[in-house]
Structures are given as structure tokens and as C-alpha cells.
A and B are shown apart, each in its own frame.
Chain A
């Protein structure tokens, strides 16, 4: 009954006029920006972050969360209608776009909306039940355990988001090193500041995010010169009853899978979608149709997507360690608002925590009631040519960067990271792990140094403590397994073409 009481307490905070307005604005604006080509949730959140600066903390967090779900829904809409995937909606392109080709766009969008609602609802109960419990477990964590957990997160994220362990780990390290710029907390030494006073506080999170995900993406899109044909088909939203009945089992399966995978380090929406889709292909009643535009193919993955997006807040809010790049950005936003996510957050700011949880469900209702019916009008954003859109996006990047510190210097920092992000995109290095490394870098260093102080310089502390040891063992297994896969691939290729070359992406 505790959960119900807590949720009621949360609703009493979330259901104020102002907070309702913030949820609505967040979901709505998030969807619109998320629809824009080349702007995934990471770019959307960092673009819209400045909007929350003048809002009280509780409302700001609620609005940010709203932006996140809104952006995800916008993503899946652009995937279903035009097969433009961002990081978070690759699976929606398969059956969703197929349904559009079959003339069932409205049905696909409705399915995605309803399934998201189901997934979100299930995940909120998981979140409400697990987050406080996990928060108590987190109190058992010492510095060595935190270090191991962060390393474990790096390995998982690197593998999941980039598919290549080495590339991902390298990007994590680049992020960690960038996080070193600024004043060292332990000794007060200014590191890598090159005598520039602005750098004493470190590089701004927004500058890195907008540079790597905004500016770099825009330049890449400009290089491609793709003229996208806007979607102009008819949209008939309401399904028939038999169609509606097909949504439910698939969405429930997806919710469970998504809720579970969302909690794991490195987990989150992307992997949850793939897992839910795979399960539907095995167990669904209509599995023969999946891949050819089946309702189940959209419902399962949409529910998993939404559920994982919610439950990925659990590690952030109960342990204080973000498990993927979006959560890292969220954590940065929390810190800008003066809230340190972690085991103490639930105890010291119960109104914020439970208000946020409750607002997630309200956000779901808004998505269902506002965005799903309005989607046909939202799609008209694609009728705006890219030649008009990209100067506007650049403008938002500038204003966003500027308003963090009211400093025009920061615009130059953003531009510099735009260049770096562009180079990395061209080198096929994914900047998402960089974001995680950047946010976790200072925490990793602090915990690492503290563990060494505690153990008087012995590295065995990372192996002998039960939690840290288990995590390290998992990392080792993962790395060795990856290495074996790589070696086998090289051997197989040698056997087939005799020249020892492997496909470039294999790892």
C-alpha cells in the first residue's frame, strides 16, 4: 500500500495548474522538435534545456521528462510515416513504415500511442516499487563499487549504442578526459584550462551536447542534401475492435520486457525495442505477418520503448549513476537545477521524486489525448523545407548555449564541439558514449581516488569487495567474449577469402 500512498502524494504535487502546464508544454514541444529530421532525444533535450531555467525546480524536472517522452513519440512518428529513424526508433521503421505503405498510417500511429501508454503505465509501477528499494541497496555501495558500476556501465553502453566495444570505450574515455577540464575537486588544481578563466568551471554540458548532437548533425544533413518528400497520405486514427484487441497482449509483453531492460546498465529504449520485437516474432499469434506491417510489430516495440524510457530513470534516481547517454544528460540537467540524483534524493526531496513519477503518467495521458489526435497537424512541420529549418535550429542552438551562463563565449565552445562532433561522425565514432563519459568522468575519478586512498594504493579493492568484484567479473567475461567473437570472425574470413581482412564494423 506504500506505493499507492506515495503515488497519491506524488499526484498531489504533479496535479497543480503550473505543473500540468509544464507537462503539456514539454510533451508537445518535445514531440515537435523530436519530429525534426536529425534531432533525436539527446539533441532535443539539450536544445530545450534552456527553456526550463526560469522555471522552479519541480516544474523544470517535470517539463524535462515531458520533453523526453515527447521527443521519443515524435521520433516514432517520423519513423512510421517517413522511415526517418533516430537512435531511439529504429525498430518502428520496420513494421510501422510497412503499415504506412499498406495505407494504415493512422492505425500504426494509434497503436504506437496506445502501446506507449500501456508501457508507460506498467513502468511507473515498477519505478515506484523499485526505486526506493534500490536506493537502500545503493547505501551499501562504497567508492570501489561505484567505480566498478560506472566501468560496467561504460562497457554496456559502448557495446549497445555503437555495436563496437572498442569504438564505444574510446569515446567514453574521450568524454572522461573532457570532463577533466576544470578545477580538480580534491586538490584545487586547475587542469587543462589553458589560462582561460571560463574553463575553470569545466566545459558546459549544453555546449558539448549541442555541438556534438546539434551542430554536427546539421552539417552532416547539409552534406547529404537529401530532399525528403513530406508525408501527405490520409490518416484514419481509430482502429476497429478486433484490431484494438491485437494491440493489448503485444503491448503488455513489450511493457514487461522494456521495464526490465530499462533498469540494466547500458539498457534503455533501443535494446528494449529490439528485444520486444524479437519476442513478438517468436510468440505473437500473428507472428507470420510481422515484418510485413503487423500491428504487433508496432505495439510491442512501442510499449517496450516507453517502458524502458521510464525505468531507465531508476538507476539515475536511486543509485545516482545514469545508465545511458540520455540519462546522463538528464543528470546534468538535475545538477544545473541544484538537485544531486542519488540515494538521498528520494529521502530529501520526496515531493520532487514522487511528483516526477506521477507526472510521468500524466505525461502519458497528454501524449495519448493531445499528440495522437494532433499528429496529422504536427506532420505539416515536414512541409517546411530544410533550407528554412536549419538556420532556425542553429538559432536555437545559439540561444540555448548562451542562456546557460548568459555568455557569448560559450557559443564559441559549442562551435568548437560542433567541429569535433562532425569529425567524429565522419570517423563513424558515435558521440553518445562520450556524453556518458563526460558526465561520469568527475565522479569516476573521485570514487577511484577515494578507493585507492582507502585501500592504501592496492588495486585489489576493486576485486575483493563483493559488489565490485561481481561487476568486474562481468566486465571481464564481456570483454573476453567479445574478443573471442572477433578472433573467430577473423579466422572465418581467412578461411573464406584467404586475405585476412574482416568487415570494417566487426569487433
Chain B
């Protein structure tokens, strides 16, 4: 099952299927007067065919295993989500600090002291953005 070419085809076909089923909910109209569902249905059907063809072709090509490391992408996404939540409910300084301390778990070495320094510098940059460039960051 771990065959990159096969998974590629399946990924595209599933993606297309979601959009095609969604498109059927809208009025497709006629060819003379295409409705809002016409174009997405057409494109997603094409993509579905393409995806299935790629999955089928994977039988005839050499198998390439797909590399996938869950840990790093999960840490990165988790720290982004934490940043957004903390900035929303506390403030952005807390968000930035969390982002630094959480995301560096994906790095090679972990150091509290270095993380404090990075956070301090980034908060400083955020202040420059806010005061100097007029970005509306909810820092505190």
C-alpha cells in the first residue's frame, strides 16, 4: 500500500470526488446557460479521471515508497494552532512565546535559554512591525 504513485492517484481522486459531490448540490444549469455547479463539476470530474488513471498507472511503474514523518509536521501545526488560540484569548506575546517553545521540539536540540532569547527577539520584531509598519498586532 505504501506506494507513492498509487497514493498520489488516490489523493487526487478523493480530492476531486469531494468537490464533484459538492458541485452536484449547486445548480449545474445547461450548456447554453451554465449554472454555478457546472464548472466545478466539469473540472473535478476531469481531475477524478486523471487521479484514477494515475492510480492505475502505478501498477505498471516502479514502486517508490512514500516517506512521511508525522512528528515534525504535527509539532509545527500544533504550535501554529496554539499561537492562534493564545493570541485570540490571551495576547500575542504569549502566542509568540508558545510558538517558539512548542515548535523547537521539532528541532535537533532543545534549550530553554535559547528559546527565551528567540522569543524576546521575535517579540521585539513584532513591536517594530506594530509601531513602525502599522500592522495591527494584538500584542498585549
Q: Is the CB of B4 within 8 A of A180?
A: no
Q: Which of A127-173 contact B (CB under 8 A)?
A: 166-167, 169-170, 173
Q: Is the CB of B54 within 8 A of A170?
A: yes
Q: Which of B4, B50, B76 neighbours the largest number of chain A CB atoms within 10 Å of its CB?
A: B76
Surface stretch bound by B, among A27-35, A309-317, A334-342, A399-407: A399-407
1/0 contact trace for A440-484 toward B, CB 8 Å? 000001001100110011000000000000000000000000000
1/0 contact trace for B33-58 toward A, CB 8 Å? 11111111001101100110110000
Q: Is the CB of B47 within 8 A of A399?
A: no
Q: Which residues of A contact B15 (CB under 8 A)?
A: 174, 177
Q: Is the CB of B60 within 8 A of A501?
A: yes
Query: Which residue of A has the minimal Cβ distance to B5?
Result: A504
Q: Which residues of B contact A485 (CB under 8 A)?
A: none
CB distance from B70 to the nearest CB of A (A): 10
Q: Which residues of B contact A419 (CB under 8 A)?
A: 73, 77
Q: Is the CB of A398 within 8 A of B7?
A: no
Does A223 touch B at the CB level, under 8 Å?
yes
Query: Which residue of B has the minimal Cβ distance to A215?
Result: B76
A506 to B79, alpha carbons, bound, how many Å? 38
A409 to B125, alpha carbons, bound, how many Å? 22
CB distance from A206 to the nearest CB of B (A): 13
Q: Is the CB of A177 within 8 A of B19?
A: yes
A222 to B103, alpha carbons, bound, how many Å? 11
Surface stretch bound by B, among A12-20, A49-57, A67-75, A285-293: A49-57
A122 to B95, alpha carbons, bound, how many Å? 48
Does A426 touch B at the CB level, under 8 Å?
yes
A429 to B106, alpha carbons, bound, how many Å? 24
Q: Which residues of A contact B5 (CB under 8 A)?
A: 504
Q: Is the CB of A457 within 8 A of B44?
A: no
Q: Is the CB of A219 within 8 A of B61?
A: no
Q: Which residues of B contact A41 (CB under 8 A)?
A: none
Query: Which residue of A has the minimal Cβ distance to B86?
Result: A408
Does A386 touch B at the CB level, under 8 Å?
yes
Q: Which residues of A contact B137 (CB under 8 A)?
A: 399, 402-403
Q: Is the CB of A501 within 8 A of B104?
A: no
1/0 contact trace for A169-194 toward B, CB 8 Å? 11001101100100010110101100
Does A502 touch B at the CB level, under 8 Å?
yes
Interface of B is mostly: helix
Count, A-B residue pairs, CB within 8 A: 193
A53 to B134, alpha carbons, bound, how many Å? 9
Q: Which of B38, B61, B67, B84 neighbours the largest number of chain A CB atoms within 10 Å of its CB?
A: B84
Q: Which of A176, A398, A403 neighbours the largest number of chain B CB atoms within 10 Å of its CB?
A: A398
CB distance from A291 to the nearest CB of B (A): 29
Query: Which residue of B has the minimal Cβ distance to A393?
Result: B103
Q: Which of B99-120 contact A (CB under 8 A)?
A: 99-100, 103-104, 106-109, 114-115, 118
1/0 contact trace for B1-45 toward A, CB 8 Å? 000110110011001100100110011001111111111100110
Does A423 touch B at the CB level, under 8 Å?
yes
Q: Is the CB of B80 within 8 A of A223?
A: no
Known: A166-B50, A411-B83. A457 touches B32 (CB 8 A): yes
Does A394 touch B at the CB level, under 8 Å?
yes
1/0 contact trace for A390-427 toward B, CB 8 Å? 11101101110011001011011011001100111011
1/0 contact trace for A212-251 toward B, CB 8 Å? 0001001100110101000000000000000000000000
Known: A388-B114, A395-B99. A54 touches B39 (CB 8 A): no
Q: Is the CB of A387 within 8 A of B12?
A: no
Q: Which residues of A contact B77 (CB under 8 A)?
A: 215, 415, 418-419
The one of A177, A403, A428 that contacts B136, using a Cβ cutoff of 8 Å: A403
Query: Which residue of A has the minimal Cβ distance to B19?
Result: A177
Q: Is the CB of A174 within 8 A of B47?
A: yes
**28 A-B pairs, CB-CB below 8 angstroms?**
A167-B8, A170-B47, A170-B50, A170-B51, A173-B43, A189-B36, A191-B37, A219-B76, A223-B69, A223-B72, A225-B108, A387-B109, A387-B114, A390-B107, A392-B121, A392-B122, A395-B125, A397-B80, A398-B83, A399-B126, A403-B135, A411-B81, A411-B84, A419-B73, A419-B77, A427-B7, A449-B38, A506-B61
B residues near A, CB below 8 A? 4-5, 7-8, 11-12, 15-16, 19, 22-23, 26-27, 30-40, 43-44, 46-47, 50-51, 53-54, 60-62, 64, 66-69, 72-73, 76-77, 79-81, 83-84, 87-88, 95-96, 99-100, 103-104, 106-109, 114-115, 118, 121-122, 125-126, 129, 133-137
A residues near B, CB below 8 A? 50-51, 53-54, 166-167, 169-170, 173-174, 176-177, 180, 184, 186-187, 189, 191-192, 215, 218-219, 222-223, 225, 227, 386-388, 390-392, 394-395, 397-399, 402-403, 406, 408-409, 411-412, 414-415, 418-419, 422-424, 426-429, 445, 448-449, 452-453, 456-457, 490, 500-504, 506
Q: A170-B51, A187-B36, A428-B64 are in contact. List 13 more A-B contacts (CB 8 A).
A: A170-B50, A222-B72, A391-B99, A391-B115, A392-B118, A398-B83, A411-B84, A418-B73, A449-B38, A457-B33, A503-B61, A503-B62, A506-B61
